[in-house]
């Protein structure tokens, strides 16, 4: 069908008018600004708020950069982090931030002005975590299964709010994974020749430098430090010595002897993937005493020793000439209690309260020794023990072997970086609940953990790889 010239002209006019309307609508939505030789288009349609964690999958001693964008400028927001422990308990933290003129914020450079922490703390959401209201009392966050990560849900909330009182509107969210065990690390439970422990081997053929890893009288078999050592290239044997079902005798009694610790060291020396002359020993609390004690046993020649907030001897009476002791509650004469009834073990490990026959022969140490002190340690007399080590080694002409790290306001449990601090937690629950006061204040304790871990790895690198 043909149109007349008039109808064709009318059609073209309508098309031109419609096109002008469309261009006008587009122009209303966007404006053009000249910026020093470049063009920038600004849309009045704002993208949805975005929260990122980079990288989203890391080892626990690595930082994650958390930032928010596409928000109104100079706007109040709250960032909240939550995770479930392996036992199912909810832990959380939160912090208040204000966006900048571009509508963004970055935990690496911006300051929290309230919440679980304040100031510029890139990893504050992680180290400031505490049990959520309503959770069990006396909790301490410790990884039970190192073959799975902590899954941390991080949410961005509207305004400065407390997630415990007013959850606020969730604007965005991201999930981060925090691992103790990197891909390729091998985990092997060891139950042989009377030994009870877990061996972690890094990826590759080896031979690797190694650490014999011992914790305190809380007992059991915490694996997370050893698995992290292996993730950093060191084989590590986490050794149980008290409070484990596979050990002999009552759980509250140390029933293993010197031969047990010598066998553990020998086990590492004999392993085909471990360098026999590059083995160190690390211990925290009573494990510090055992590390020093084992390192001076005949036939044991460690390449380095690391002690964290522990004594140089034991106040417990020895049943034989070894480390076998009577019940762990025998030294209650040295206990004290605060106003809340929390027990303070600090006096138990004062050098003057140690059995003279049970003090490590520190002058016999022949390898580099690093001793880490939390100056607010309420569970061990760490400062006094460090002083004794330093004095003894100086008198023996071995000052060059000693490295002392000391941290004001840090408590007893100096653990891998970004671990939440527990100032107090349950020591025992049965037959009677007993809360132990560890000491420490969150921000300086977190700084101590980060610095001590970095320097400890450098010390191991120098002692075990060169």
Q: Exposure pattern of 364-376 as b/e (b: 16+ CB <10 Å)?
A: ebeebbbbbbbbb
Side-chain half-sphere CA neighbours of 129 within 13 A: 26
Residue 285 appears among annotated catalytic residues: yes
Q: Which of 432, 412, 430, 431 is nearest to 422 (CA)?
A: 412
Which residues on neighbouring strands pair with residue 337, listed in sequence order? 343
Alpha carbons 271 and 207: distance in angstroms, whole number: 9
Please report the sign of the dihedral spanned by the C-alpha atoms of residue 383, residue 230, residue 154, residue 144.
negative
Residue 166 appears among annotated catalytic residues: no
Could you give the 3-state DSSP secondary structure of residue 100? coil
- Other beta carbons within 10 angstroms of residue 340's beta carbon come to 8
Quick check: bond before 32 cis, omega within 30? Answer: no
195 Cβ contact list (under 8 Å, min separation 6) = 239, 260, 263, 264, 267
Alpha carbons 192 and 199: distance in angstroms, whole number: 12
Alpha carbons 462 and 466: distance in angstroms, whole number: 6
Alpha carbons 448 and 414: distance in angstroms, whole number: 7
One of 285, 315, 379, 382 is an active-site residue; which one? 285
Determine the angle formed by the axes of helices 258-270 and 286-295, rounding to 10 degrees: 70
Which residues on neighbouring strands pair with residue 325, listed in sequence order? 318
- How big, in percent rounded to 5, are the helix, strand and coil portions of the chain? 25, 30, 45
One of 160, 271, 293, 412 is an active-site residue; which one? 412
Q: Which of 273, 331, 359, 262 is nearest to 302 (CA)?
A: 262
Both tokens of 279, joined, read: 């083995």
One of 377, 381, 382, 445 is an active-site residue; which one? 377
Alpha carbons 460 and 303: distance in angstroms, whole number: 9
Residue 377 appears among annotated catalytic residues: yes
Catalytic residue list: 285, 377, 412
């Amino acid at each position: 069908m043909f149109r007349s010239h008039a109808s064709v002209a009318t059609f073209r006019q309508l098309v031109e008018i419609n096109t002008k309307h469309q261009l006008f609508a587009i122009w209303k939505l966007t404006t053009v600004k000249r910026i020093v030789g470049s063009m920038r288009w600004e849309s009045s349609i704002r993208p949805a708020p975005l929260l990122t964690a980079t990288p989203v999958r890391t080892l626990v001693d690595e930082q994650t950069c958390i930032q928010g964008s596409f928000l109104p400028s100079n706007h109040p927001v709250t960032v909240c982090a939550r995770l479930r422990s392996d036992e199912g308990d909810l832990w959380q933290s939160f912090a208040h931030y204000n966006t900048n003129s571009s509508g963004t914020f970055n935990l690496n450079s911006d300051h929290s002005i309230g919440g679980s922490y304040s100031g510029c703390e890139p990893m504050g959401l992680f180290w400031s975590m505490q049990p959520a209201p309503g959770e069990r009392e006396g909790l301490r966050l410790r990884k039970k299964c190192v073959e799975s990560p902590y899954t941390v849900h991080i949410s961005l909330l509207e305004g400065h709010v407390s997630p415990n009182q007013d959850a606020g509107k969730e604007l965005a969210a991201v999930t981060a994974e925090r691992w103790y065990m990197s891909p390729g690390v091998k985990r092997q439970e060891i139950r042989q020749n009377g030994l009870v422990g877990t061996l972690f081997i890094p990826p590759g053929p080896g031979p690797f430098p190694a650490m014999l890893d011992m914790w305190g009288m809380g007992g059991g078999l915490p694996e997370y430090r050893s698995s992290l050592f292996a993730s950093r290239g060191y084989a590590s044997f986490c050794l149980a010595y008290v409070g484990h079902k596979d050990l002999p005798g009552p759980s509250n009694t140390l029933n293993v002897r010197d031969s047990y610790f010598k066998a553990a060291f020998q086990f590492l020396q004999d392993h085909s993937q471990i360098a026999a002359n590059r083995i160190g020993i690390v211990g925290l609390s009573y494990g510090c005493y055992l590390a020093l004690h084992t390192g001076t046993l005949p036939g044991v020649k460690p390449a380095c020793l690391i002690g964290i907030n522990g004594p140089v001897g034991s106040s417990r009476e020895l049943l034989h000439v070894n480390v076998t002791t009577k019940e762990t509650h025998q030294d209650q004469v040295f206990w004290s209690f605060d106003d809340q009834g929390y027990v303070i073990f600090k006096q138990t490990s004062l050098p003057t309260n140690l059995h003279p026959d049970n003090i490590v022969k520190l002058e016999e140490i022949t390898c580099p020794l690093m001793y880490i002190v939390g100056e607010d340690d309420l569970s061990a007399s760490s400062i006094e023990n460090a002083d004794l080590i330093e004095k003894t080694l100086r008198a023996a002409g071995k000052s060059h072997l000693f490295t002392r790290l000391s941290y004001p306001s840090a408590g007893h449990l100096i653990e891998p970086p970004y671990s939440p601090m527990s100032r107090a937690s349950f020591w025992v629950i049965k037959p009677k609940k007993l809360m132990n006061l560890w000491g420490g204040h969150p921000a300086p304790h977190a700084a101590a953990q980060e610095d001590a871990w970095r320097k400890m790895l450098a010390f191991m690198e120098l002692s075990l790889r060169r």
